[in-house]
Amino acid sequence: MESNNGIPQNKRHTPRPTTARHRDLRNILIYINLEKAIFQNADEEYHVKVAETLQEACKLLEVGFEYVTDLNGAKLFRKRK
């Protein structure tokens, strides 16, 4: 049976579902363990600084602060205590 574009119906690509399929429960457990290892100290405390200018932001980065986000035109930085 030929289709309009010359590809037989039984040879056409069938799109796969976009949901994740886990073939093995062990793979899921690996991801769960990784998440626990990464986020186990999610309640850590930080020093927080706000930079209004580029010079302020550069100084904060030089002393070990990491950029988090922008808020009302200012840049927020954090550093673990």
Report which of 70, 22, 68, 19 is spatially closest to residue 48, judged by C-alpha positions: 68
Of 17 and 47, the one with more pLDDT = 47
Distance CA 67, CA 77 (A): 5
pLDDT computed for residue 18 by the predictor: 62
Q: Is the pTM of this model over 0.85?
A: no
pLDDT in tens, 25-36: 888 888 888 887
Q: Which two tokens stand for residue 26?
A: 């062990």
Token pair in block for residue 14: 């069938």
pLDDT of residue 79: 92
Amino acid identity at 12: R
The pLDDT tens digits of the residues spanning 50-70 come to 999 999 999 999 999 999 999
